[in-house]
Amino acid sequence: MKNINTTTANKPLLIENKKKVEEKFLDVYACSISVSPEEYKAVDEWTRRLFLKAEKCFTLKKGLNAMANVALTPPLVIEKQGDIKKSYQIYVIGVYVEEVIKREVFNA
């Protein structure tokens, strides 16, 4: 009868992972403004202010042509009721998607 070496059967197999994992983070900015109920009715005014603020966030970091590679959400409106008055907090979230466009569209 053969003698079975049980010590080698319990050793874990070492597998080398030769793939390099690349971790990249998306640049995401959330910009907000607060408006009164009277200002909220003038949609053209606060939308312009809100999107100019979002544009400023990206152009400061990525350059003047950054907005060509930014995906924006529609304005997200949250009604705030304070002790004295009511106001609206309006958010827009922008994501810099240049890397996504390069990989998906141009297969780079």
Element at 27 (helix H, strand E): strand 27-35
pLDDT at 33: 94
Question: Residue 20's pLDDT band (boundaries 50, 70, 90)?
Answer: low
Question: How far apart, in Å, are the Cα atoms of 13 and each of 1, 21, 44?
Answer: 27, 21, 64
Residue 94 lies in a domain: yes
Q: How many structural domains is the chain composed of?
A: 1
Residue 2 lies in a domain: no
Query: pTM here?
Result: 0.67
Residue 14 lies in a domain: no
Residue 38 lies in a domain: yes
**Mean per-residue pLDDT for 58-68?**
87
pLDDT at 93: 94
Residue 12 lies in a domain: no
Range of the domain at 48: 27-105
